[in-house]
Homo-oligomer: A and B are copies of this chain.
Amino acid sequence: MTTLGSPMTPFLALDKGKLEANIARLRGRLKTPLRPHLKTAKSVEVARMLFDGQAGPITVSTLAEAEAFAAAGFTDILYAVGIAPDKLDRVVTLRERGVDLVVLLDSVAPAAAVGRARIPALIEVDCDGHRGGIAPGDPVAAEIARTLHNGGGEVRGVLTHAGESYFADSPAALVAAADNERRCAVQVADFLRAEGFQAPVVSVGSTPTAHFAQDLTGVTEVRAGNFVFFDLVMAGIGVCDVQDLAMTVVTTVIGHRPDKGWILTDGGWMATSRDRGTARQRVDQGYGLVADLDGVLLDDLLMTDASQEHGILSIRPGSAAELPDIPVGTRLRILPNHACATAAQHDQYQVTDSSSAIQAVWPRVRGW
C-alpha cells in the first residue's frame, strides 16, 4: 500500500473526505446554482467531484484551464479575467468546438472585437475596489453592451466579485459583503435591462460571501473556488475550521537548530509559495500550521520562515509551548495560508481517504 510515507517530499496531500465534505457543505446551503471556480484546484478530477456527470457550469482563470476542462467534457465555462485581444482566437476555437465559453468586459475598447468574434460576455462590475470592473452606477455599462451587441456579440449579463470579503473580520461583515456584492450586480443588470438588453446572467461570488450570503434575490449563479480545499486565511476570517483544510504540504525534517529553537524541513517557499495571507489577520500563522502525518496539529508549532528549499519551524512567538523533539526523517504536514498559491507550486495531488493511504494521483493544469 502506498501511503503518505512513500512519495518523495515535499508534495501535496489531498484528503478526499474533507474535499467531499467541503463541497457538500456549500452545495447544501446554496439554492442558487453554483458555478465553481477551478482556479484553486485546477484538477479535472476535482471538477468531476463537483458535478455528477454534468458538463458544468464552471469558472476558470486561464485559457489553459478552459482547454483542459473542455477536453474533459465541460462545455459551460466562464473565463473570469478581463479578456486580452490576443486571446480571442483561442476563445473562438473553443467555442467552435461547442464550448459555451463566456468572457469578461469592463471597457468599451475591446467590446467591438469580442462582438465581431460572436463571443458572449459578462460586464464586470467592481463592488469593492479590488481590481477590474466598472462602478455600479457608471452608464458606461450601456456603452459597452451596445458596442458588444452592435459588433455581433451577446450581452450575457454581469459579474462581480467581493474581493474585500477576504479581509472581513466578523460574520456581520461577511453578510454585509455578500449583500453589497449582490446589490451591485443586480443594480447593473437592472440598468442594462432598462437599456434594452436581456442580460440574463447575474454572477456573484467568493468563498467568504458564498458561505455567508443571506439573500441572493436577483442572482442567477454563485462562484466560489477556494472552498473545495479551504486554507488558513479562510479559517482566520471564520469561513471554515482549521480541521476542514483538505490540502496540506507534506515535508520531511532535515535538521535542528536547538540554539535557535528551529526544526528545519525540506519544504521551503518552493513548496508552500511565498503567500503570507495571514500576516494581515488577527492571528499570523507564519507560512502555516504544522501537523503530524495523521493530521494532528502540533501545539503552537508554526512554519515561521522559508528559503527556497528550507522550511523553518518554531514555536509561535509568545507561546509557552516547548519545541517538540522530532527526529530527522520524520514527515510533517504544513497547513497553508492560501490554497490557490500553495497548490500552484505543485504539479499533482496525492489523494487520500481519511487514512494516509494514497488512493490516486491527480494532475494539475499548468500555465496559461
Instruction: Give chain B residues whose Cβ lies under 8 Å from the Cβ of A308.
Output: 39, 61, 340-341
Considering only residues 224-269 of chain A, those with a C-beta below 8 Å from chain B are: 252-257, 259-260, 264, 266, 269
Q: With A86-B252, A135-B259 as given contacts, are A81 and B327 in contact (CB-CB < 8 Å)?
A: no
Q: How many copies does the complex hold?
A: 2
> Is the contact region of chain A dominated by helix, strand, or loop, or is it mixed?
loop
Contact B11 A368 (CB under 8 A): yes
Q: Does A302 contact B (CB under 8 A)?
A: no
Minimum CB distance partner of A260 in chain B = B129
Minimum CB distance partner of A86 in chain B = B252
Minimum CB distance partner of A138 in chain B = B259
Minimum CB distance partner of A6 in chain B = B86
Complex: A87 Cα to B264 Cα, angstroms? 16
Q: With A62-B309, A308-B39 as given contacts, are A266 and B84 in contact (CB-CB < 8 Å)?
A: yes
Instruction: Give chain B residues whose Cβ lies under 8 Å from the Cβ of A367.
Output: 346-347
Complex: A340 Cα to B367 Cα, angstroms? 17
Minimum CB distance partner of A83 in chain B = B254
0 or 1 for each of A320-345: is its CB under 8 Å from B? (1 = yes): 00000001110000000000110011
Contact A82 B274 (CB under 8 A): no
Q: Does A193 contact B (CB under 8 A)?
A: no
Q: Which of A20-28, A104-112, A177-185, A291-299 contacts B (4 or more CB under 8 A)?
A: A104-112
Instruction: Give which listed residue, B82, B276, B327, contacts A254 with CB less than 8 A.
Output: B82
- Give the distance to chain B from A329, nearest Cβ to Cβ, in Å: 4
Contact A327 B109 (CB under 8 A): yes
Q: With A274-B275, A274-B341, A341-B269 as given contacts, are A256 and B107 in contact (CB-CB < 8 Å)?
A: yes
Minimum CB distance partner of A5 in chain B = B86
Instruction: Give chain B residues whose Cβ lies under 8 Å from the Cβ of A61.
Output: 270, 308-309
0 or 1 for each of A268-287: is its CB under 8 Å from B? (1 = yes): 01110111100000000000
A-B CB contact pairs (8 Å), 21 listed = A10-B368, A62-B309, A81-B309, A82-B254, A82-B310, A83-B254, A84-B253, A84-B328, A84-B329, A85-B328, A110-B328, A130-B307, A132-B257, A132-B264, A132-B310, A163-B307, A269-B275, A269-B341, A274-B341, A308-B340, A347-B366
Give 10 new A-B contacts, CB below 8 A, not counting A10-B368, A81-B266, A106-B255: A8-B63, A8-B86, A9-B84, A9-B86, A85-B328, A85-B329, A110-B329, A132-B257, A274-B276, A347-B367
